[in-house]
Structure 1
Amino acid sequence: MNFFRIIILLFLFAPSSKILFFSQQRKTSIEYLDLQVKSKNTNSKELQKLKDFQNKKIVSLIIFLIILLFFLLYFSYQNNKLKQKIKRKDIKQKILLNVINSGIDTQEIERKKIASFLHDNINSLLSSAGLHLNTFTTQNNIESEEIRKTKVILGEAHDLLRDMSHNLVPSLLVRFGLIYALEDLCERNSNSSINFEFSSSISIDKRYVEKFEMKIYFIVSELCNNIIKHSHAQKATLFLKENNNQFYIKIRDYGKGFDTKKINEVEGFGLNRIRARVKKFKGTINVTSKVNQGTSIKIKIPLPH
């Protein structure tokens, strides 16, 4: 009896247990689906956040590149502007140097012409006039105060013209060369107020091409004149040498000097002319000076071939 009861109970409760099992399994499936949906939503949100972050990075990078490009363009513009300004300044300087050099060349040509004219013509005429006058007075045995004064006047005129001719183009430069003429220049510029000392490692007999000698002579002459006029020095030195196909000039005075920071204010046209002459020969000039300690000027010029 009991056995039959158990069988009946199992038969009655078996469908309900199956239903419970399937309902539980369905619930589990639904939860799993919910989790998958939630996971997908979470992943999509994270992906969206990642995309937004990447978009922000890209936008920031683009903005940075635009700013960088702007600064590069600005600096390039400023650089080009500065280059153009420097170029214009160089052009102006070259024009100024050409004008100065053109004036110097013209002046030197005129100097040579006038010196030649004075020496070959006027001096010759005066010498001839004096010779004829001496011959006439000797032959006729005539002596008078007027004739004596005339001879003196002719002699003075001859000496003045000779000195003028020498100042325009020194005869020593033409006849004996640059080194000899510069030594003579130092001697002639020395007096009780200032003494020019000359020294050279170059032979006094050394000759260069005429144009080179003329240029160097007038450069040194201009420097000596500047020392006499502006330095208030009692002593100056001039040194010459050759080395590696370069001609070196060093001239120093022991005068009042000046502040090299204000060189543009004090140099004047004389030093500008010297700079122009040196640059025309593709040389260099260096000026150093201290207040109350004097000034030193070094010039280096390539020797002519």
Structure 2
Amino acid sequence: MKRTVLLLLVSVCFINKIAGQTDSLINELKKQKKDTIKVQRLNKLAWKYRRVDSICRIFAEEARIISDSLKYKKGYSTSLMRLGLLESKKNNYKNAEEYYLLSLNIEEKINNLYGIVRAKVQLAKIYRSQGLYDKGLRYANESIIACNELGNQKLMATIYNTIGSMYSSMNLLGKSIEAYKKGLAIREKLGNDKQTAKSYLDIGILYNLLKKYEKGLECLNKSLKLNKSVSNFSELSKVYNSLGVNYFKRKKIDSAITYYKKSLNLKKKYALSNQESLINNIGVAYEHKKKLHLSIDYYKKSIKLSNSSKNELQLLDSYYNLGRVLRKQKKYKQALIYLERSLFFSKKYKKDIVRLEILITIAETYEQLREFKNASIFNEKHIVLRDSVDNIFKEAQMIDSRYEDEIKKNELLKKDKEIAQERILRVLEQNEKKNTLLISLIVGIILLTILFFLSFKIYKTKKAKELSDKNRKLEVQKNIELIKKQELKSIKAMINGQENERNRIAQDLHDRLGSMLSMVKLHYNSIEGSLDKLKEENRMHYNKANSLLDEACVAVREISHDMISGVLTKFGLIAALEDLQKTLEGTSTLQIEFLNYGFDNRLDNSLEMELYSIVQEIIHNIIKHAEAEEVSVQLIKNKEFINLMVIDNGVGFDPTKIGESNGIGIKGIQSRVDSLNGELLIDSGKGNGTTITINIPVS
């Protein structure tokens, strides 16, 4: 009684202390600006106080509200995960599932791989708790794939443990132990003592189930040592419980009760969950000591706590144990009520090993009631299930043996390797003095040979480089000459076009503007003949002459326009660039790709000439300096801009050093682009080729 009061006082003091700290934190947070930093802090506090439902919920809800107002999806998703954890701990799996699925949906939308894995792992855990193992395994296996991409080994180990737990619940014990040991290997490699202790605990529990009690005890003692070193009292209580089970199975009942009570004391001291499991186990121990009334009290306490916490898996065990004790007391009808309830949960959660015991107990109870038909039905069910369970045990033992054999084989190989290395070292030590001179001589010869070959290779490489440079210079010169020839060809064609235009202009001036001017002359002559007599008529002639002169001006403009249109018709930009491409593709060293889009209509003649000159200058620079084999020229026109992009696979250069160069190539291109109100961008680096992008406004 005194101890209970003391524990109550300690709990009250602890809660008051936390409440005081929480009030202080809440007041401090109220002053903080509502931004993403505050959301992150609230989520961290929610995680820190996750074992205190009311406090954790305050922080998580506040984080969710602020994140929603800020449209901060990552913070909103994390707050949902915190709320889902609280619901999961209270066994409100439907609510937890809604929170986790909503979080997963957000994380997938923002493509946050870590958040996706986190949500899927939690979904796998709650589906495992509900006995929905197929759904749980689907999410867990998807998490493994994502975890590989993420490279998070710690999280991957947690997922393997979850998978192992589900396989264990599905009675696939071979697959279960395989998954657990994969998780253990990762955790030992990471040096994570806390998580390694958990893996040893899970494997120890599985060995207890497989009746390999010595192996189970070994794993549980390792877990015990590690949990003590990291002061993990929650896991320590589970280890004590599993040690109790191990000792119980080996008929060491008093030792089992000692460990059960150690576990229960820790759970009470730190207000840990699942006390009903320990109370049930203590009841089993007292039952074995034939203290049936005492064991019934413990089973009923366990059932009450299990109903309160909605722990259906524990109800399965406690109902079965209570039914079994009542049968021992020959209260067969009452016993069947609890045994039937236990059978229901064993089917729901697919606990075939436990169900096997329940079925035979029910069959025997019906026999004692002399209801042989029912006894026969349950006995047949037991036989069918027993064959299945036997296969499960055999498969698990085979996988475990194979795993152990593989470990032993690796250890033997390691030892053989070490022995071989020791022998080699001994031989080397014995022959070291005898072989020193010989080895020195051999090393000297090898070094001289290497030196000779290196010198020869350097000489050969130098000569090859000189020849390559010479050939490259010749090819560059050849390409430059081709460009010059192309320029001369273009200039010649332009001059011919201009000459034709001059002839046409001369003809138009003679036929159209000349005749008009002749009429003007006649009118002026008529005015001179009768200027004094007919002043009004002279004024009319004068006006007519003015009108004809205006027409002459219009004609001159039309002739000028026709002249420009004629040149553009004959020397279009696209045709000229295609002609340049064909000319340069005659060489063996440079391949030119020319792409154009949007040039259904012609550009202004002066703009076309400038663009052609820019392309010529860029290709000239590529041939001269870039050592390129391939060039891509892309010319695209839209409503607002003309985009020119020239890409080569040459040696590249440092664009920041353009100003230090004495050459005028790039500077000339920049000048032309500036005159067109355009923009020049150069993306290059040594060994990475060069991309020149030019944007010129259409207007």
- Greater share of helix: 2
Q: Which structure carries more relative contact order (alpha carbon 8 Å, separation 6+)?
A: 1
- Greater share of strand: 1
TM-score by length of 1: 0.43
Is the radius of gyration larger for structure 1 or structure 2?
A: 1
